[in-house]
Amino acid sequence: MKKKLKIVKDSRPSRVEAERAVKTLIEYIGEDAEREGVRETPQRVVKAFDEYFHGYGLDAAEILSKTFREVGDYGGPVLVKNIKVQSRCEHHLAPFIGHAHIAYVPDGRVVGLSKLSRLVDAYASRMQTQERLTEEVANALEKYLKPKGVAVMIEAEHFCMKLRGVGEDHALTVTTRFGGIYKKDRAARESFLKLTAGGS
């Protein structure tokens, strides 16, 4: 079985093939792919793709592997607001950009605060939907941190909505996912929503 997986990985197109595909798109729209300003665009686009989609090489388990037990007497939630979200919709590869607000109530274990942004980045830097991104961030925190509760809210603008079709310029898509005490306890949920209101 492992061998099979390896073959799938090896069947990824080469960098040169990816650059050729971009050149095909440039020619498809009717551009001259050989003119000076455009000649090196395929290489630049593939390099940009490496940046946009670097999340495939990142592992949530590794990001959240180092936890700390010493939280003193603090028993409240840990909330990090306005974590940058830069992702690409899986339907059009158009960017969706916004912020994530993440809260969790530790059950004895906390994680470095920067790890929350790294976690968002790892899942956002893939072909995504906002709904799945919200779910994946919450699931990873539940799985690896085992908190008493977790709340994730993402607010984002989708460029495929802004630029295409309906041309909806200021629409903000908001997704939320509540787990543990945030799901069971209405007061905890309301507190999170109050703290994140007007957060971005």
Give the catalytic positions in this structure: 89-92, 130, 158, 160
- Taking CB under 5 A as the rule, does residue 46 contact Zn ion? no
* Nearest residue to Zn ion, scored by beta-carbon proximity: 160
SS3 content of the chain, % helix, strand, coil (to 5): 50, 25, 30
Decide if residue 164 touches Zn ion (CB under 5 A): no
Smallest distance, Å, CB 192 to Zn ion?
28
Gap between the Cα atoms of 121 and 52, Å rounded: 10
Q: Which is nearer to Zn ion, 92 or 162 (CB)?
A: 92
Nearer to Zn ion, 20 or 164 (CB): 164
Q: Is 41 or 130 the residue whose CB approaches Zn ion more closely?
A: 130
Q: Which of 160, 168, 191, 195 binds Zn ion (CB under 5 A)?
A: 160
State yes or no: residue 156 binds Zn ion (CB under 5 A).
no
Q: Give residue for tokens 């059009």.
A: 92
User: What's the closest the beta carbon of residue 90 comes to Zn ion, in angstroms?
Assistant: 8
Pick 95 or 199: Cβ nearer Zn ion: 95
- Binding string, 76-95, against Zn ion, x = CB under 5 A? -------------x-xx-x-
The pairing of strands 67-68 and 78-89 is: unpaired
Rounded CA separation 196/200 (Å):
8
Structure tokens at 83: 């974590």
Beta carbon of residue 55, minimum distance to Zn ion (angstroms, whole number)? 17
Q: In one letter, which amino acid is 193?
A: L
Task: Return d(Cα 38, Cα 25) in angstroms, integer.
Answer: 12
| Distance between CA atoms of residues 44 and 22, nearest Å | 10
- Residue 56: phi and psi, rounded to 5, are -65, -25
**Is residue 97 within the footprint of Zn ion (CB under 5 A)?**
no
Binding site for Zn ion (CB under 5 A): 89, 91-92, 94, 160
